[in-house]
Structure formats: structure tokens, C-alpha cells
Structure 1
Amino acid sequence: MQSLPGLDGQGRWDIPARLNMGRQCLSQRGDALAVIDLTGPSRRDVSFAELGVMVDGLARALLWRVQAGDRVGVLLSQSPLCLAAHLAIWKTGAISVPLFKLFKHDALASRLGDSGTKIVLTDAEGAALLGDLAEAWMADEVGLDGGPVDFADTGADDPAVLIYTSGTTGTPKGALHGHRMLTGHLPGVAMSHDYLGQQGDCLWTPADWAWIGGLFDVAMPALALGVPVVAARMAKFDVAECQRIITAGHVRNVFFPPTALRMLKAADAQIDGLRSVASGGEPLGAQMLDWGREALGVQINEFYGQTECNMVASSCSASFAPQAGCIGKPVPGFEIAVLDGDMPTDGEGEIAVKRGAAPMMLGYWNRPEETAAKYRGDWMLTGDRGVWEGGFLRFVGREDDVITSSGYRIGPAEIEDCLLTHPAVATVGVVGKPDALRTELVKAYVVVKQGAQVSAVALQDWVKDRLASYSYPREIEFLEALPMTVTGKVIRRELKARAMADQTSGLNRK
């Protein structure tokens, strides 16, 4: 295996004591191409020097109001401005909080309230979404006059970014990461793209930069490695638009979420000119890998990680042949185990990552007990089950109730909480139901209050108006009662079994 960025000659983490992710991304590249902006009517090439001017303008404005450790939201779609906003926040020593344009009022309110975010860098569209939840700063209206701004003297473990999970075991939790996080992503990103940084490489993903997969598997690593990154907006994944972006941006390297790959396959799409394709979030299977070699002209490299510690395992076709059904090998720098209780096992168990990995979170924001529960001794628990097969890690399933739909990890608790605010709903349970296109779709089992009436469409619209548009229940079934424990908790495994039975029998109750 070739040498990888972020590691020393012995495959150990190479993390300086003083480190700032903003400096990493803007380090002395001058007129070299940083961003290919396809968000407007025509292509616009942005150099590192131009990006740096944008960063300094935003940083100057922030320094009037922001101190080290303050949280600043970023509610912007893929664009040079989105990159500049995060880099400017890090440059001042503050903490950036990525926010998603598909979030509605309740989803934004929970994240802004929990994090204590008072200022959000956004645009007119984002300001309308925010309402009075936070002070909206029009990032595209900030002046660019003035000299350069010094980088804050930050350490590798100083907080830099607060990324919220999808709430798999409750309400979304903020995973707080230090400035070492970016370095920790570099070896896995390089592996998953067959050693990213080759002559002519250019990276893009349809995944939004509000998520760790878009921001730290693509956008920031590209800047840190000096690889041009393409910024292009797609409200919904569209095969023809995807092909146009790849052609217009001269894209050679793509991170495709599994759902995007399935949509390309369903459309019999052919894409030429790619050097590497990476995918993560859920296993693809041998059939999809075979299709990738034929239609994309490359071996799709699968990778594995989560918001709390990302890019920990990966395939790398340039160094070893993939093993169908497996998600790769441990990325150098990481120690991964499959635990049976407290002990590593050669059989099936919970996937865990050894403490000391560079991209591992500092902890959950203001949740010391949940942070402690995430660890068992020296191991960070993923909540996923796996098994070793000849040095490859095979993903078996999730120990929690997370729903994986169209590449998004969706926690049922947030959807249940939203539905329970409807005046007609008494109780509700949300699970994932197998779906050929989306992996799973969100299904809600609802008990209506006595004497109340409500339609499935009305409840779907209720969630659409309050949470992310992708997380609404695509199926709703009304029941007389839900299976409950003696303490009043919904037994989701019984609802899951019911959904599986409905899938088998072809039923679809609404």
C-alpha cells in the first residue's frame, strides 16, 4: 500500500500540537484551482487565493461578534461561500455548526437551541427558513475589502465543528470534533479514491455539504489535498443532471451514496471518464459492484464510518481486490475490533474503534453521560454489528433502530416526537421497512385519539412541514394499540417484524 496523507512513515497519526483546519485547507496554493462552481448559469473557477479573500471577509465580520468557542451556524448549499463560511469560523477559533436546507422549523430549532447557536451564516433562502430562531447573516453580502486575518492559535484538540447525528437512539446529538478531525479523514478519503491526488483528479458528490459525508469525505479533504472540488446543487438526485455535472466539471472522482448508485443503475446510465468512485453508508452487494465496473468503468470502493468517528475502514482497488459483501479493511492509523462483550472476537459482534483515532469526536455536546456510554474501556462503540472475513470487515446490521433511507440515517425518535405534536395522534411508533430503491422507507404506526380523525396524507404533510423532507413517513398504518413494554415504551422490534411481514405479503396499509 502506498503512503497516505495524515500518517507518518510508520502508519501512525501525524498530528501537530498546534493545528487549524482553516489553515490546512488554504495552505499556500495561490492561483491553483480550488473550486469549480456550477451553481450559477455558467461555470466559475475559484482559486485558493480567491477563496482566501472570501474567508478573510467573513472572518473580519465575525470577529466583531464571535469569540473562541462560540457556535456559528452555516445554512448554505454546495457553493464556494459554504466552504468559505466554515473556513472563516475555524479561522476565528469559533465552532461551525452545519445545517441542512431541507430542515424545517422544528429540526432547525432543536439543533440551534441545543448548541446555543445565535448567529447563522446563510443566504436569503436560509434566512426565510430560520425565521426568528437565530440571527441570520447574509454571507453573500459581506464585504471583501481589507487585509488578511490571522488564524487563531488553535490546538489539535480544540473544538472546531459540531455535527448533529440523525438521532438513532433519541433526539439528535451533537458530535463535537477538534481541529484534528480533517487530518483524520485524509487517509480514508485517499484510499477510497485509489490514492486521491493524482494528476487531473477532481472531486464531487451529490451529497449535501451539511452532512459529514459531503463536508469531510469530499469538500474539506479535497481542499486540504489540493484537489479541485465541484460545487453543484441538486434539490433531488437526477440522473441526467448528474451526468451533466460530471461532464461540465471534468469530474474524475465521485462519492456516490448507495441510493444514487441504484438510481443510476435503474436508468441504465453510463458514465465515462471517472478514475474512482467511493460509496458508504450501507453495503452495496456483489451485483452493484459488478454493475459499477461495467457502467462506470471503475471498481466502486466501499467505506465505513459514522459521525462520531468517520472513514475508519475502506476498500482500495488500487491496492487490493474487494471482497463482495464486505466494506473493506481498516484504514491505516485505525485499530478496529469486533467485540463480544468486552473482548475482541473472530465471530460476530459489535464493531468498535480504538481510542486515539484522529477523527474521533471529543464527545457529545453537553451530554457527558451519553458520551461515557459510547465507550467501553479503550473502545468507541459504533452500535453496528460486524464480522471479520479474511481481514475484511463485513457489516451485519445495526444494533439500534436507525432507518437508512436514500443514503440518510434517520432516527425514529425525532419523527415520533413530531407526530405526537399533532392534536389527533395518541401514540406512534416509527420503523424502517425494506424498500428496493431506498434500502428502507420510513413507516409509522399511529394510534389516533378517541373521537379524532386524521388522514395519512395530513400526517405526512405535518412531518414534511417540520422536519427534513426526506424523513417523513412514506407509509402510515393506523392501529388500535401499539406493542408496549411495562414501562410504556414502544416495542419497535415487533413493529419492525410487522413491517417485514407486510413487505413479504405485499400489503401497504394507509
Structure 2
Amino acid sequence: MLPTDPDSYASLMRTFEWRLPARFNIGTACADEPARTAPDRRAIIDVEGDERRVLSFADLARKSRRLAAALADAGIGRGDRVAIMVPQSIEAAVTHLAVYRLGAIAVPMATQFGPDAIAYRLAASGARAFVAFAKGIERARTLPRGLGDVDLVVASNRAPAGAVLLDELIAAAGDTVLEADTTPDDPAMMLFTSGTTGQPKGTLHGHRVLLGHLPGIEIAQHFMPQPGDVFWTPSDWAWAGGLLNALLPALCHGLPVVAARAPRFEPGWALEVMRTARVTNVFLPPTALRMLLAAEGLSFDGLSLRVIGTAGEALGHRTHARATERFGVPVNEFYGQTECNAMLANCAALGVDRPGSMGRPVPGHEVAILRADGSRADVGEAGEVAVRAPDPVMFLGYWRDAEATRAKFRRGWLMTGDSGRMDAEGYFHFVSRMDDVITSSGYRIGPSEVEDCLAAHPDIEMAAVVGRPDPVRTEIVAAFVKLRDGVAGNEALKREIAGFVRARLSAHQYPREIHFVDAIPLTESGKVIRRHFRDG
């Protein structure tokens, strides 16, 4: 944890030391510790329309303890995977902390996922329990194997047949104190991340990931906690942006977190949430900021914000300047990825503030720009962004994929796959991705997963997927499709194909551009040559 009144960036870098405890558990750190010092303080402010539910830290600790005991009674134990597909809510926070305190492994899944995306993650993780909102359970059951080998199905709102209701599970549990004796290196969560080939990989993190995040989030949020801080993000808590950039660091510091959900991000709705809940600290992905700034007729008056943190894609000078002027508060851009997050940051309060940059290294992290031969690049020279290993914020490895884990590291450095450069003052600047991963609205989308889904469409023989530049989303998914013989391509078929992918995967992965082509070029080994369409 960083001091709330640092002398300077240089002094922080010079004096910071990691002091990881021998035993650490995210669940107890985010519930029991705050409850001991301020039991009646608000932990979750659940906002839905005109309704508001408030859960104190004492109740968060009690409910998560009871749920952990109930899961244990149902046979879920240490190391078992528990898939969580619950929108921002009291129920989502309670479930996450219960899984951590049990010593099980949380597998967060976005509420927008379709049946294919759900089924793949359940099978790949080997989840034994599935806690989800009712529609998520119903989607999963539409596939031939349904919920596969899942033993326990828990519904967060209403219970479809064969599922137990979360509140009933908690109410029936005893007050047995169940605390897993976990170390910082014991696994806590599995976040799926996309690559250029194959299906998404399960990125396994230990309990230390929360401790590793704290310095970066504290800097990006102007040295939170400060008196009166209230945190919110529109990002789903299933993603690193919502879970590790917002929910868990805020709870660990004993801060109230706003839970608010809408079918899709709407600028007017977001401003109303921030205004009525008196949000002071917010994490807004760049796409959300651009949408807020582009909306017409909205008032930015009456907000209680003191800082905006943003990450997930490059913000750009123009958007940074407009956001700072419109909101009237500092906008701190920071950088990371699912495997190793929040290790570069800007912080205007610390004098580290270069609009359009990823920031400077956060205390406790060594970051460099490396050439292909492993040597450090010169000032201004492009190379790959790399982070010195070991580091508390780094992942433990890809789930059951030792080869991919080894490939992520080179000569003692974690290689991000992002091209960047460092200027003379030590600020890092993003150049581009070094592979085919698509960055859209803060999501990293693997083309292979979308191509596989497209190939399942009865009219499609083969497809190639690339990213196309977009002023709002950074990139959009563009699909180049070779149809089967005898099938005529038209606008109606494009709409059908887009809907097919959206329904089976998710709303952020469907192709917004579809082009019909006569052929898809392949390498000698049969791989799609995507650069043919990206560079064309």
C-alpha cells in the first residue's frame, strides 16, 4: 500500500518494497478486515432504476462466510473451480468473496456471453459449480451437453428448474467460520484471455494478484482511499477491468462500491448513476469516455468525481484533453493486460501526467522496451513492452498449458505482445499490437474464436477475422467470409451472420463488418493468412 501523501514519484520508486504476508486471502481481506474496523460502513450500493439496496461490510462478511460454508456443504472444496456469471450486484460481490475465502477458484464470465462461450469456459475450467443469473443458466442449457459436468447450479435472482436460489442457499447455511489458510501464491481466480490462435486461455492468478494491483490502482485513483471515496465502473466484474481495477481494490480499502447494470452502456444512464450515487472515483474504459463525450444534450453538472482512471486501449491526446475539460477532474491513463496488469500509470497528483501515454512504471514493477534479441531499446525506439519477472501482479500460468506459459516469458521478462516506445522522461507510449488480437471497446478479442463460430454457420465454408480501425471502439471486428457453393451473399445474409455470432459468443465479438470473398488464403500448414485482409 502506498502512502496517501507521497513526497514525489522518485521517492516512491526508491523506497517502495513488496512485503507480501505469509498468509493472504482475497475474501477475508475484502470483507472481514474492513468489517472489523467499520462494520456499519457501506460496502455495496446496489442501484437498479429507482431501487437501491445497501450492504454493509459486516453483512458482506456474514453473507460471504455463510455462502462459503454452503458451498463446502455441497462438496465444493479448495481448488475446485466455481464459474460466476452474475451482473454487478450484491449477489456477485458476495459470491466472489465466498469462493475466495473457501480456497476455491473463481471463473468469472461476462453476462453477455452466449451458449457457446459459456459451454467452452465451463468445460475448459472443469467448473464444478455454476453461479449465474437465470438467463445465463437458460442459455447454457440450450447446447446438447447443457451444463456438462457441473454438479451445483445456483441462480442469483430466480431459479430455473434444477437450480437452487442463492439467497436460500445462504439462509440455510450456518454461521460456521470457514477460512481457507491460503498463501499469496495459492490460486484464486481464472480469467480467460484471447490469443491469436485457438480458443481463449484460462489465465490463473493467485491471491497475491490483489496485492499486486494495489499500487497501480492507488496511483491511478489519486491515492485512494481518501475520506468519502465511492467507487464505480461500468465494466462487468467478470473482466480484469471491473474486478481488479475497481471492485476488489476498493473493497480491500474499505470503500463503498456502486453496483449498477444496464443492458448496454448508455451515456445518460452512466452520468445519472455517478450523480445520484455521489461517485468520486470511477474506472471508465476509453470507449465509454468517448461515448460520453460524443453524446449530445447531456449535463455534466452535479457530479462528485475527483478522478477518472482509464485503461484497456489507447485513449489518445484529443480524448484526454476533452475528458479533462468536460469532467473538470484529472484523467489518469494506465496500462496492463490480463496476465500482468496495472504496472504503468499516470497520476496527475504525483506530477506523472503525459496525455496519450501509458504512464511511467508503478512502484514495485520494472518495465522496459526490449528488442527481439532481448536487449533494451534506445529512447524513442520501438520494441516490445516487457515486465521483469517475478512480480506479484503476474499470473501463475495458463490453465493446463505449460507450453503457452513458457512462451509468455523470455530471459526473465514477461512479454506483453504490445509494441511500444519510451521517451526521454521515462513515459511509455503504445505503438500497436504485435499479433492479430483485436482491441475493441477495451476487450481483447481472439480472431480464432470468432472464425470458429463463423465456420459453424451452415452457409459459410471458411472465414478470416481481423480488426479494422474505428474512432470510437479503437477497432471493430471485420469478417471476410467465403460462402458455400450455391449460396448468394446479400445484406440480409450479413445481418443473419452477425446475429448468429452475437447470439452464440457475445455482443462484443460479433463482426460489425462482413465482406464476401471468393477465397481465403492459407499458409502451407493450413493457417489463415489474416494480414492479406488486414493490410489490403
Give TM-score, length-normalised by structure 2: 0.90
CA contact (8 A) 1:406 1:439 kept: yes
For residue 294 of structure 1, what is the aligned residue in structure 2?
325
2:309 is equivalent to residue 278 of structure 1: yes
For residue 169 of structure 2, what is the aligned residue in structure 1?
142
For residue 24 of structure 2, what is the aligned residue in structure 1?
19
CA contact (8 A) 1:283 1:325 kept: yes
Kindly provide the CA deviation profile for residues 208-247 of structure 1, in whole angstroms up to 9, marking residues without a partner as x: 0010100110001000011111000022111111111011
2:269 alignment partner, SS class: helix
Counterpart of 1:205 (choices 233, 246, 269) is: 233
1:194 alignment partner, SS class: coil
Kindly provide the CA deviation profile for residues 20-47 of structure 1, in whole angstroms up to 9, marking residues without a partner as x: 1111101123111111111364222211
- Tell me how far apart the structure 1 counterparts of residues 352 and 66 of structure 2 sit (CA, whole Å): 47
- Tell me how far apart the structure 1 counterparts of residues 94 and 167 of structure 2 sit (CA, whole Å): 10
For residue 407 of structure 2, what is the aligned residue in structure 1?
373
- Tell me how far apart the structure 2 counterparts of residues 225 and 345 of structure 1 sit (CA, whole Å): 38
2:383 is equivalent to residue 345 of structure 1: no
Counterpart of 2:135 (choices 118, 122, 125) is: 125
Counterpart of 2:473 (choices 434, 438, 451) is: 438
Kindly provide the CA deviation profile for residues 405-452 of structure 1, in whole angstroms up to 9, marking residues without a partner as x: 222211111000001112221111001111122211111001112223
What's the % identity of the aligned pairs? 45
Higher mean alpha-carbon deviation, 52-61 vs 99-108, is at: 52-61
Q: How many residues align?
A: 497
CA contact (8 A) 1:270 1:295 kept: no
1:23 alignment partner, SS class: helix
CA contact (8 A) 1:8 1:14 kept: no
Which residue identity does 2:344 align to in structure 1?
A
1:471 alignment partner, SS class: coil
For residue 3 of structure 1, what is the aligned residue in structure 2?
3
For residue 453 of structure 2, what is the aligned residue in structure 1?
418
Give TM-score, length-normalised by structure 1: 0.94
CA contact (8 A) 2:191 2:203 kept: yes
Which residue identity does 2:200 align to in structure 1?
P
- Tell me how far apart the structure 2 counterparts of residues 97 and 103 of structure 1 sit (CA, whole Å): 13
Which residue identity does 2:45 align to in structure 1?
I
Change (3 A) 1:2 1:114: closer
Shift of 1:12: 1.7
Counterparts of residues 132-171 of structure 1 (less than 5 Å): 132-133=146-147, 134=150, 135-138=152-155, 139-144=166-171, 146-171=174-199
2:83 alignment partner, SS class: strand
Shift of 1:270: 4.6
For residue 452 of structure 1, what is the aligned residue in structure 2?
487
- Tell me how far apart the structure 2 counterparts of residues 407 and 156 of structure 1 sit (CA, whole Å): 28
- Tell me how far apart the structure 1 counterparts of residues 299 and 316 of structure 2 sit (CA, whole Å): 19
- Tell me how far apart the structure 2 counterparts of residues 493 and 123 of structure 1 sit (CA, whole Å): 40
Which residue identity does 1:42 align to in structure 2?
E
Shift of 1:148: 4.0
CA contact (8 A) 1:20 1:155 kept: yes
Which residue identity does 1:398 align to in structure 2?
R
- Tell me how far apart the structure 1 counterparts of residues 94 and 137 of structure 2 sit (CA, whole Å): 18
- Tell me how far apart the structure 2 counterparts of residues 92 and 110 of structure 1 sit (CA, whole Å): 25
Shift of 1:2: 6.2
CA contact (8 A) 1:254 1:278 kept: yes
2:108 is equivalent to residue 98 of structure 1: yes
CA contact (8 A) 1:54 1:81 kept: no
Counterparts of residues 382-393 of structure 1 (less than 5 Å): 382-389=416-423, 390-393=425-428
2:213 is equivalent to residue 178 of structure 1: no
- Tell me how far apart the structure 2 counterparts of residues 118 and 441 of structure 1 sit (CA, whole Å): 35
- Tell me how far apart the structure 2 counterparts of residues 137 and 124 of structure 1 sit (CA, whole Å): 9
- Tell me how far apart the structure 2 counterparts of residues 39 and 54 of structure 1 sit (CA, whole Å): 21
CA contact (8 A) 2:84 2:108 kept: yes
Shift of 1:275: 0.2
2:397 is equivalent to residue 363 of structure 1: yes
- Tell me how far apart the structure 2 counterparts of residues 37 and 309 of structure 1 sit (CA, whole Å): 30
1:3 alignment partner, SS class: coil
CA contact (8 A) 1:189 1:311 kept: yes
Which residue identity does 1:405 align to in structure 2?
S
For residue 489 of structure 1, what is the aligned residue in structure 2?
527
Q: Which runs of 5+ in 2 are unaligned?
A: 6-11, 156-165
- Tell me how far apart the structure 2 counterparts of residues 122 and 321 of structure 1 sit (CA, whole Å): 41
CA contact (8 A) 1:230 1:249 kept: yes
1:318 alignment partner, SS class: helix
Shift of 1:375: 0.3
For residue 61 of structure 1, what is the aligned residue in structure 2?
70
2:99 is equivalent to residue 89 of structure 1: yes
Change (3 A) 1:123 1:427: closer
Shift of 1:78: 0.2
For residue 311 of structure 1, what is the aligned residue in structure 2?
342
- Tell me how far apart the structure 2 counterparts of residues 385 and 167 of structure 1 sit (CA, whole Å): 16
CA contact (8 A) 1:415 1:472 kept: yes
- Tell me how far apart the structure 1 counterparts of residues 324 and 441 of structure 2 sit (CA, whole Å): 22
2:43 is equivalent to residue 34 of structure 1: yes
CA contact (8 A) 1:39 1:79 kept: no
Shift of 1:129: 2.3
Shift of 1:374: 0.3
- Tell me how far apart the structure 2 counterparts of residues 208 and 9 of structure 1 sit (CA, whole Å): 35
Shift of 1:98: 0.2
1:43 alignment partner, SS class: strand
